[in-house]
Structure 1
């Protein structure tokens, strides 16, 4: 919902000519409000003049466009070329602008960019620019390893707080060891690694030592509290990787990591467990492999746990009572995701009747009921079969589940079924690049196959 202030700001910037002429009379503390309103309405000229005359010390696009008191919607994931270009030209003119009604106070600028060549140029020239680029968060997406290693050294890694290496960056364990041996990240708080960084199924004695070395390097990152390693094969190695850490983790993603009982036992008894605010254990057959250990983990983390993800964990109707018992102490839980589990409509209603009693709960992602699919469907459901269910019956069940929430006056809880997983804005923004890369890879594979056939003939 928009406040009266925000509605007024929209009305003000909607007349670009009037707004630009009136900026010299605007109070400094209204500039952030006008910036977000201008971005929402894609008023590039107004954005340019706002930035050109920016009177504040900080210009953080993420904060300016994120959730605010006057307008809760987060605009930071919206791509608007006109607005971003206006920001950059405004910054340029801010530096070149001599006579100004405002004293130049701007010290920090926070922008996002996904063009590798432009970012490299900017980082190489930062020593000579009036406005210095300072990276506190870096995301590498669909980037060749050579380019990644080159650009990461330009970012001043000693200042990085967050590092995400995702989506088609082919970083394997030996590359990670080289990265940690050659570059130090003393202030790093959050680390995300790409799929298959680790694969213990092909480990040698040398690889075991390499894993130990990586664990020790992680231990040197005394600020690290968030670690995400989805789709790595880490069977029996969680303790070796996490035990060297000096600071307890608050967020841990080990989804689809093929954890065994020893791994779960370590997590349930480690010094991390009492601090875990977000945990993702998706892709593990929890009810059959280690039910008691898992519930011990839940019990120990219940006082702080805010987000729990258990997608594709083979949770069935017979496990619902046990799940409710395990979740009961988690009174601070704000988010619960359990897509991909074979649960019936009846089991979901039983679960929602419990979930509505969790006082802090805000978001639930639930699976399509098993009885909405054809008889004989197997789990995990493949992508082809995922949407082949009785949509009318699903809508009816979804309404019943929401009614269960409404009966307890829990309109604040959002319940949904994202059929293909949670929306990732960063993936959406780069889907064209990823698509182009996949087409290129497919073309190269076909060419190699054709050459091989020609040689055989």
Structure 2
């Protein structure tokens, strides 16, 4: 269920520096009294954390993506307190991934028990609420964060201002930011540009899947060009490059799989490259692909 390695890839028996690399819950049994749905999965996760905490106190990296935790479907009287307590038992936890768990309104409960600030926090598709980001922006985690992934959360409305405050709080430490498929349009990106410009150490920015125009991408490029370490931006297909107008409620599937005019897209990419050269940032990679050369190196902590 749990595997550990040193940072250089050596196994338990060959290194004193161990960390939890992966907690895999895909093999949990589907039969028996504990298979009562998402809450049973949460109980199993808490038990797994207990085992990890007891056997591997040096755990630094915990990943629980696709765990089916859904606070909207907990049994009466149940909460995530057990899981929160076990997370708090991991004394050296620095990196946490809770992707695709519906944690609406529960972030303070889960992170408030941790013994130290996180350096990496991945919360994609977690149905976060404004109170979650408000807590995070005021918590000890914010000024320590090097990597933050909020992809799949709707940052275009009530989450926007708390997200701005979070970026300001994390500006001195943040290296990697992913906000893919967050329904960000030009107006929201304009509001995010000033706090982004304060992230002096930022190395990578993920924006794929947001309905942004070329005008917004130009402003972003010119506004962030002075950031010396920003070497990678994964940008969306500009809305200008689609053959058909976006529907009123555009989905990320349309943005990624819609009818893109390849000639327009090529012209847009060439224009961005020209702007990078003119700004003296030919070293930066602006791409619509996560498989572009150099991407893995850019996203390492």
TM-score, shorter chain, exceeding 0.5? yes
Match of 1:207 in 2: 78
CA contact (8 A) 2:23 2:63 kept: no
Match of 2:89 in 1: 220
The 3-state SS of whatever aligns with 2:252 is coil
Match of 1:102 in 2: none
Match of 2:64 in 1: 193
- Among 212, 226, 234, the residue aligned to 1:357: 226
CA contact (8 A) 1:177 1:213 kept: yes
CA contact (8 A) 1:356 1:408 kept: yes
Match of 1:246 in 2: 115
CA contact (8 A) 1:335 1:362 kept: yes
Match of 2:32 in 1: none
The Cα offsets for residues 269-302 of structure 1, whole Å up to 9 and x where unpaired, read as 1111110111111112213112222111111110
Q: 1:174 to 1:284 in 2, by over 3 A?
A: same
Runs of 4+ deviating beyond 3 Å? 60-63, 132-143, 419-425
Q: 1:136 to 1:258 in 2, by over 3 A?
A: closer
Question: Deviation at 1:358?
Answer: 1.1
Match of 2:150 in 1: 281
How many residue pairs end up in the alignment? 276
Q: 1:218 to 1:283 in 2, by over 3 A?
A: same
Taking the aligned partners of 1:402 and 1:424, their CA distance within structure 2 comes to 17
TM-score normalised by L of structure 2 = 0.82
Check if 1:145 corresponds to 2:16.
Answer: no
Check if 1:291 corresponds to 2:174.
Answer: no
CA contact (8 A) 1:236 1:260 kept: yes
- Structure 2 unmatched ranges of 5 or more: 30-39, 297-301
Q: 1:288 to 1:272 in 2, by over 3 A?
A: same
Question: Deviation at 1:141?
Answer: 6.3
Q: 1:133 to 1:140 in 2, by over 3 A?
A: farther
The 3-state SS of whatever aligns with 1:382 is helix
CA contact (8 A) 2:25 2:67 kept: no
The 3-state SS of whatever aligns with 1:191 is strand
Choose between structure 1 and 2: higher helix proportion. Answer: 1
CA contact (8 A) 2:145 2:174 kept: yes
Taking the aligned partners of 2:125 and 2:21, their CA distance within structure 1 comes to 24
CA contact (8 A) 1:387 1:419 kept: no
Q: 1:424 to 1:144 in 2, by over 3 A?
A: farther
Question: Deviation at 1:332?
Answer: 0.9
Q: 1:421 to 1:263 in 2, by over 3 A?
A: farther
The Cα offsets for residues 199-251 of structure 1, whole Å up to 9 and x where unpaired, read as 1110124531xx11211111111100110111110001001000010110010
Question: Deviation at 1:61?
Answer: 11
Cα-Cα RMSD: 3.0
CA contact (8 A) 1:196 1:233 kept: no
- Among 120, 125, 131, the residue aligned to 1:256: 125
Question: Deviation at 1:142?
Answer: 8.9
Larger radius of gyration: 1
Taking the aligned partners of 1:416 and 1:194, their CA distance within structure 2 comes to 26
Taking the aligned partners of 1:327 and 1:384, their CA distance within structure 2 comes to 24
Q: 1:420 to 1:260 in 2, by over 3 A?
A: farther
CA contact (8 A) 2:20 2:62 kept: no
CA contact (8 A) 1:252 1:279 kept: yes
| Greater relative CO, 1 or 2 (CA 8 Å, sep 6+) | 2
Q: For residues 9-158 of structure 1, what are the structure 2 equivalents within 5 Å?
A: 110=10, 132=13, 136=19, 138-139=21-22, 144-145=27-28
Match of 2:283 in 1: 412
Q: 1:407 to 1:423 in 2, by over 3 A?
A: closer
